[in-house]
Structure 1
Amino acid sequence: MPEWLTLYYREPLELTHGEGRHVWGADGRRYLDFFGGILTTMTAHALPEVTKAVGEQAGRILHTSTLYLDRHMVELAERVAALSGIPDARVFFTSSGTEANDAALLLATTYRRSNQILAMRNSYHGRSFSSIGVTGNASWSPTSLSPLQTLYVHGGVRSRGPFAELSDERFTEACVADLRDVLGQTHGNVAALIAEPVQGVGGFTAPPDGLYAAFRDVLADHGILWISDEVQTGWGRTGDHFWGWQAHAASGPPDLLTFAKGIGNGMSIGGVVARAEVMNCLGANSISTFGGSPVTMAAGLANLTYLLEHDLQGNARRVGGLLIERLRAIAAPLPVVREVRGRGLMIGVELARPDGSPSPEAATLALELARERGLLIGKGGREADVLRIAPPLSLTVAEAEEGAAVLEATLRHVQSTLAGREAP
């Protein structure tokens, strides 16, 4: 395997099975999972409703491709279209979030007859050639080559950068002014803005609510499309909203919406939703060999049904709210924690050196110590200085308290360790 296919932990961890919010390693040890396979295990590990749907469909037929009708794909497309908020919506299924964003970029550039794309600084949209070309986080963008001309604008990171000290209202005004300035320097039509409502790999950073609505007003004046990358924020994870774009809903839904990860609960599902005139703009044939697979579609339907019937969005809001307040109380006396941010069950803990600069070494140490204490978390941010906390949406209050206790011990250990290193 390639050297860049990195693994977490000094001693890599092999996971063999899971149940609910827990997973087990090959050594037999049980861990509380606060990362869910990068926000993919959305409802629970080994959810009976999903495993039953997968098993039953696998016993009938595993694969057909989109060249044939599949009832599960049609039913899931109808439900996703209705939930998307996009009028006259059409849905195209892919096998990953990367491929979903790639498809959205194809649609937008074809519809607008332009290869110019607006993207957010510190963003991440996947690992394909086109999605890397609109990724603003340099740690995840290995080449400057791109089929697109990408223009990066401010707004995705609230607490760092040139506008960090402004009020929310002034921050939004400054970012809109920056957007207008960038558009004033373009040549020809810009096709679209692609933006994560909450930046995932970027460290769970987000602008003030309403910023993308303000952007949308500017975009609409130029006919520019808005692509909301909901690969990590969708399906109620933020608690307050089913989709991340709804925190910026004053000007209505996006023109295109991409999704993946949580809808499959571990199965490979991605997709793009767009209004019909945009989705149908392609003049050439296209299919998906694995997008819309009968097995993954059966899993997606079962998973979405469970999520809605058990109000996991509401659970994310309630339990996530308790967890984030608990973490803020833990962090208050610890200088190593610069910020605890997020909403619902999408929480970032940014770690810093005494001078306030990013501390990737603190995040790496915290990752290891949490694992030793039986808790799995993620890591992100432009400088790899942010702990990413995103458990399955069925997390209980007791499990949230258990995880918070581990994080408290972990962060206190990190604080004392780094303080000891800095002592004369």
Structure 2
Amino acid sequence: MPIELPPCDHTPSPYSGPSKAELLERRKAVLNQGIFLLYKEPFMPVEGHMQYLWDETGRRYLDCFGGICTVSVGHCHPEVTAALSAQAQLIQHAPTCYLHPTVVEYAEKLAATFPDPLNRVYFVNSGSEANDLAILMARLHTGHHEILSLRNCYHGGNAVGMALTSHHTWKYAVPPMPGFQHLKAPHPVWGPIPYDAPDAGKQYAEEVADLIKFGTSGKVAAYIAEPIQGVGGAVPYPADYLTHAYAHVREAGGVCIADEVQTGFGRTGTNFWGFQNYEVIPDIVVMAKSIGNGFPLAAVVTTDEIASHMTGRIHFNTFGGDPLAMAQGMATLDIMLRDNTMALSKTIGDQLIAGLTLLKDKYPVIADVRGSGLILGVEFVQDGQPASAFTADFFERCKDHGLIVGKGGLHGSVIRLKPPMCLTPADADFLIEVFSEVLSELS
């Protein structure tokens, strides 16, 4: 008997476009071959409403990947759509070298979500651009060159993003940019130090001090880390890890950058920004994805002092601060704050963790259930090795049952859950039921 999705009062419009087979052939003929499709049988969503997607046949799915952690308050949220439409009827483009109210109003609201002294905003279009800009700011401010990032991280697909990223699957065989080094990272399954060990965070952070001593001049420009590694498989750190890591970096003259592209905007359920869960304050914060609920939008937030170095030359982003992006971003943030999507993420996340942990107790293939709020990972291991093939089958079968999830980790052995932050308890029950059914099928 098929597992039924919770009721939904939205009726999708009939689809009248090209067939999946026709569209696939046209795509193959014109798009760059490096642009991949996730599923063996391609998924073709043609309409979305809040946490749900409909394919070309009219079948409904629960979206628990959010367009790669990007749709935050819901697909086609009516208030976000209305704000974008209203702005589009007034002026569709105004660069930041003109004066326009929307960019100022949104920057004020966004900056107000940060602790002091983080108060200066620079808008760009993507997380990759934001990380590139953050590295530039760090080097200008410190006068140093060396950048440290963690193994298993992902920070973007441009040149700087690939230099920061430490996953061979996301790096091309071209000469790497100089000045980037990668630290051994904490990991609850594969790391050498159990997270519940005394001083686990301090011990892991010794890697930062050692690399600075042996791999650099002793001075660094920056250390960048995601509060929870996203593409790496929803990997958090021991509670005091960032405290010690930040201290080592600052002692070497560097600044600390928090990549909040996937963890930001209350998704962890306990704080609006992921770094706050570790009781640290970075010098620079980058954000994207959830910020625009699907619109190309990102930002870098930093201090007065660090931002002031940008005045030394002309620097400009054509679409950063664009009125359309600002309208969508501001509407998204207003909904997050009004509806307290952070608290909802905590409630639903706790429900999912409880249900997934019960499945872990029943199925040994689940090695770990981890994360916080609505950024979760389920890691599969067989015979002491990453269960890549099992995870690939699991991933496909979830779609067959009407559930869209993500997949990550270096070996593709982690199921990633990063849905829109409007899931209901009934949606969470559906996810657990699908996981249980698929585990039963594959076991």
CA distance in 1 between counterparts of 2:349 and 2:372 reads 7
Distance in 2 (CA, whole Å) between partners of 1:159 and 1:277 is: 40
For residue 45 of structure 1, what is the aligned residue in structure 2? 75
Deviation per residue, 1:173-232 (Å, 9 max, x gap): 222222111111212520000000000000001111221011122222222100000000
Q: CA deviation at 1:168?
A: 4.1
In the other structure, the counterpart of 1:183 is 212
Corresponding residue number in structure 2 for 1:173: 202
Task: Choose which of 259, 268, 276 in structure 2 pairs with 1:238.
Answer: 268
Counterpart position of 1:350: 379
* Matched-pair contact (CA < 8 Å) for 1:123–1:156: no
**Residues 385/96 of structure 1: CA separation in 2 closer, same or farther (3 Å cut):** same
Matches within 5 A, 1:371-410: 371-410=399-438
2:318 maps to what in 1? 289
Aligned-partner residue type, residue 101 of structure 1: N
The answer on 1:366 being equivalent to 2:394 is: yes
In 2, the alpha carbon distance for the partners of 1:36 and 1:287 equals 30
**Match of residue 353 from structure 2:** 324
Deviation sequence 1:87-116 (CA, Å, 0-9, x none) = 152100000111111110111112122221
Tell me whether 117-126 or 324-333 shows the greater mean CA deviation. 324-333
- What is the rounded CA distance, in whole Å, between the counterparts of 1:169 and 1:221 in structure 2? 24
Q: Does the CA contact (< 8 Å) of 2:137 and 2:306 recur in 1?
A: yes
Cα distance between partner residues in 1 of 2:133 and 2:327: 22
Matches within 5 A, 1:147-296: 147-163=177-193, 165=194, 167-185=196-214, 186-187=216-217, 189-249=219-279, 252-282=280-310, 283-296=312-325
Aligned residue-pair number: 411
SS at match of 2:264: coil
Residue aligning to 1:422:
none
Which residue matches 1:91?
121
Matched, 1:54 2:99: no
Q: How far off its partner does 1:125 sit?
A: 0.2
Counterpart Cα distance in 2 of 1:168 and 1:242: 28
1:59-98 mapped onto 2 (5 Å cutoff): 59-87=89-117, 89-98=119-128
Distance 2:247 2:261 in 1: 24
Match of 1:33 in 2: 63
**Partner SS, residue 83 of structure 1:** coil
Deviation at 1:334, TM superposition (A): 0.9
Q: Distance in 2 between matches of 1:157 and 1:100?
A: 26
Structure 1 residue runs of 5 or longer lacking an equivalent are 417-424
On the 8 A contact 2:118/2:283 being kept in 1, the answer is no
Distance of 1:243 and 1:168 partners within structure 2: 26
Displacement of 1:276 in angstroms is: 1.2
**TM-aligned CA deviation for residue 23 of structure 1:** 0.5
Q: Judge which range, 169-178 or 198-207, deviates more.
A: 169-178
Distance 1:241 1:88, change over 3 A: closer
- State the one-letter code of the partner of 2:378: V
Partner of 1:112: 142
Match of 2:170 among 140, 151, 176: 140
Q: CA deviation at 1:161?
A: 2.9
CA contact (8 A) 1:156 1:199 kept: no
User: Structure 1 residue 412: deviation in Å?
Assistant: 2.0
CA RMSD of aligned residues (A): 1.4
Deviates more, 1:399-408 or 1:134-143: 134-143
Are the equivalent residues in 2 in contact too, given 1:348–1:386 (CA < 8 A)? yes
Where does residue 340 of structure 1 map in the other structure?
A: 369
The alignment partner of 1:193 has SS state of strand
1:291-306 aligned within 5 A: 291-306=320-335
Inter-partner Cα distance in structure 2 for 1:88 and 1:3: 41
1:380 Cα deviation (Å)? 0.4
The corresponding residue for 1:309 is 338
Secondary structure of 1:348 counterpart: strand
Q: TM-score, normalised by structure 1?
A: 0.94
Contact 2:169 2:410 in 1 (8 A): yes
% same residue: 36
Judge conservation of contact 1:345–1:389 (CA < 8 Å) in 2.
yes
Amino acid at match of 2:60: R
Whether the 8 Å CA contact 2:212–2:219 is kept in 1: the answer is no
- Asked if structure 2 preserves the Cα contact closer than 8 Å seen for 1:86 and 1:274, the reply is no
State the match for 2:10 in structure 1.
none
| Deviations 1:31-67, CA, capped at 9 Å, x for gaps | 0110110111101111111000000011111112222
Structure 2 residue identity aligned to 1:324: I
CA offset at residue 392 of structure 1?
1.0
Letter in 1 for 2:143: R
Deviations 1:383-406 (A, max 9, x none): 111100111111111111111111
Q: CA deviation at 1:368?
A: 0.9
The whole-number CA distance in structure 2 between the counterparts of 1:83 and 1:356 is 43
Deviates more, 1:209-218 or 1:223-232: 209-218
Following TM superposition, the consecutive aligned residue runs of length 4 or more in structure 1 with deviations greater than 6 angstroms are none
